[in-house]
Structure 1
Amino acid sequence: MENFDTILETEIWQGKSLGDLLTLETMASAAGSILGVVAILVLGWIVSAWVQRRIVKLSKANKHLDDMLFEFLASIARYVIMGFTILFVLNTFGVETTSVVAIIGAAGLAIGLALQGTLSNIAAGVMLILFRPIKIGDFVEVADYMGTVKHISLNFTELANLSNVQVIVPNADVWGNIITNYSSNDTRRAEWTFGVGYGANLGAAEKIIRDTIMGDERSHTDPEPFIQVTNLGDSSVDFLVRVWCNASDYFAYRADMTRKVKEALDAGNIDIPFPTRTIVQAAAE
């Protein structure tokens, strides 16, 4: 680049003072720096968006990968890239990035103390997304609420209860309580107790119960069903019945079998007792 003495000798700059020339060079330098900063920020934005899309597409291309987890990781990757871009820009202007990081840390601590509840929900949301004890579509019981998981965000988990009513549960309550996931396993064991009268033929009653339940296509033969007399009650002999079925069939299957066994016992003339009370009136003296 030509020095100032050479520039002053040219006809273009004749009549201009050294102060004017310095001002023009300063403006040109500042404009170049601003354009460079804008270019770096735009490049960082483009790269971060591209990385985010690639991570999301990776989960879409493989059905074994969890979409929710990879969307979370994609967002984290984008923020990290933009953070480094901003630090690089500040460093270019001679700003001590260590001081900036320290200021951000102090501000983060102050904000964290003020927003403890919100941050605890976010921390719990991160744990739910990373460890995935529940997934969208699972039927669960959390924080005394039962329903199907519709959405999991960093702040809350959305359920649809048995009446299809929306229930919003803060993530801190989900992660901090016992989680019962009824959809985690493909099969479930249904259980009933059927009582018959003491005068009933137990062999005939057992056959009716077994044939009725095992005749349903939803009943599994493996593991072996359990149908045995397990209790002699005050007014009945109780059969304990345990049969496995698909988890998705559980509720309808259990209700259907309760009714069908009752009707089958009635048809087989097997008495199903119920508690009775006899009132004896004392004779008048």
Structure 2
Amino acid sequence: MQTPPPEAPVPFLEAARRALEGDPVMVREVLGAVGAFSVRLLVAALILALTLWAAKRLSNFARRALGRLPHRNHPGDTTLSDFLSGLVKWLVIAVGLVAVLQQVGVQTASVLAILGAASLAVGLALQGTLSNVAAGVMILLLRPYRIGDRVEIHGRSGKISDLDLFHTTVVDYDGLTLVYPNGKVFGELIVNVDGSGRRRIDLAFGVDYEDDLDLALRLLLECAAADPRVLKDPEPWSRVTSLDDSAVSVTLRCWTTPADWQNAKCDLIKTVKERFEAEGLSFPFPQRVMMMREVSSTDDAKGSLVLSPTSS
């Protein structure tokens, strides 16, 4: 005896029509389907509410955790914390939405495949922008410079005026605004003038060979000690550094803060010149001496004088 084949499932619209016509079997099936769908819809709503709650809590946790990292986040600079907390929030929401769609019966495999292909296409089209974002994240994490620091990038010097995930903005000393993509900045040499909190001044002066070198070295140290902008640690340093053609070079090395470096250097040059002259030390300059010699000529009985310039 053969078993009769199972009846094919009745389409939902057909079942609804037959239920409206009073078919008790169809009424029970429609009510059961609606009840099951209502339960799944309620569960999906609970998953969505839990997802939104978890996204908010986890994003706040990521923001606080990043703020507690030492030497990473500058007070008042929330660019990195905002980016990472937003990234965590939307990742949690994306996972929750996939669970909600699965709960209500949507086949998410095809949707994820389409989204993956679209993301790949967008990523290939915006690979330069995405590389700038990646470099911006690394800059914000490693902090080779901060807003307000004086830097040298690509041979141009200036002060950092703005920093985000895409660009670094520098205002140079001529008042020009330079906008660098972060991808170009992160892969090049970055000179941070303010990074160490101090900067060295090197000043070389030429004195006459007949002058007192010990006096010159002592005057250099006195000039540095008299300037309040010169740091006591490291101590100022002065030595004879070279014997030139017309002068003996004495060098002063001292340290100041980066903010005082320019003015302190210029003022020290003026102060040292005045002190040297007041103590009788001279600043020799290159001289040209004309040597005269007599050259005999076989054709002329009289000799002739030839001037031969030499430098000293």
| TM-score, normalised by the number of residues in structure 1 | 0.77
Which residue of the partner structure matches residue 240 of structure 2?
229
Counterpart of 2:221?
A: 210
* 1:6 matched residue in structure 2: none
User: Which ranges in structure 1 are unaligned for 5 or more consecutive residues?
Assistant: 1-13
Larger mean Cα displacement after TM superposition, 204-213 or 94-103: 94-103
Q: Does 1:132 align with 2:143?
A: yes
| Matching of residue 275 in structure 1 with residue 282 in structure 2 | no
Aligned to 2:191: 180
Query: Residue 87 of structure 2: SS of its match in structure 1?
Result: helix
Contact 1:160 / 1:166 at 8 angstroms: preserved in 2? yes
Is the CA contact 1:55–1:71 (under 8 Å) kept in the aligned structure 2?
no
Alpha carbons 2:79, 2:164 under 8 Å: kept: no
Q: Give the direction of change, closer, same or farther, for the CA distance of 1:143–1:24 in structure 2 (3 Å limit).
A: farther
- Relative to structure 1, is the Cα distance of residues 15 and 216 closer, same or farther in structure 2, using a 3 angstrom cutoff? closer
- 1:11 corresponds to which residue? none
Instruction: State the Cα distance separating 1:157 from its structure 2 match.
Output: 0.8
Equivalent in the alignment of 2:180? 169
Moved more, 117-126 or 65-74: 65-74
1:23-172 aligned within 5 A:
44-45=51-52, 47-49=54-56, 51-53=58-60, 55-56=62-63, 66=73, 67-172=78-183
- Superposed displacement of residue 211, structure 1: 0.6
Q: Deviations over 1:83-108 (max 9, x none)?
A: 21222222223334444444333322
Structure 2: give runs of 5+ residues left out of the alignment: 1-18, 293-303, 307-312
Cα deviation for residue 224 of structure 1 reads 3.1
Alpha-carbon distance in 2 for matches of 1:117, 1:277: 60
2: distance between equivalents of 1:69 and 1:239? 49
C-alpha RMSD over aligned residues = 3.5
Q: Distance in 1 between matches of 2:105 and 2:20?
A: 35
Partner of 2:14: none
Contact 1:143 1:173 (8 Å CA) reproduced: no
Q: Is the 8 A contact 1:205 1:265 kept in 2?
A: yes
Deviations 1:164-206 (A, max 9, x none): 4322100011111011112221222221111112222212211
Q: Residue 220 in 1 paired to residue 220 in 2?
A: no
- Whose helix fraction is larger, Structure 1's or Structure 2's? 1
Pick which of 48-57 and 109-118 moved more: 48-57
Amino acid at match of 1:217: P
Deviation at 1:35, TM superposition (A): 8.2
For 1:48, the aligned partner's letter is A
What's the secondary structure of 1:239's corresponding residue? strand
Deviation at 1:283, TM superposition (A): 5.2
Distance 1:108 1:222, change over 3 A: same
Question: Which residue in the other structure is 1:5 paired with?
Answer: none
Secondary structure of 1:185 counterpart = coil
Alpha-carbon offset, residue 50 of structure 1: 5.3
- 3-state DSSP of counterpart to 1:248: coil
Which residue, out of 232, 237, 253, partners 1:242? 253
User: Equivalent pairs: percent with the same residue?
Assistant: 32
Mean alpha-carbon deviation: is it higher for 143-152 or for 19-28?
19-28
2:203–2:269 Cα contact (<8 Å) kept: yes
Give the secondary structure class of the aligned counterpart of 1:270: coil
Residue pairs, 1:247-266, within 5 angstroms: 247-266=258-277
Counterpart Cα distance in 2 of 1:122 and 1:53: 22
Residue identity opposite 1:225 in structure 2: P
Alpha-carbon separation, structure 1, partners of 2:235 and 2:20: 105
User: Which of the two has higher C-alpha Rg?
Assistant: 2
What secondary structure, in the 3-state scheme, does the structure 1 residue paired with 2:188 have?
A: coil
**Retained in 1: the 8 A contact 2:37–2:104?**
no
**Conserved? CA contact 1:208–1:265, under 8 Å:** yes
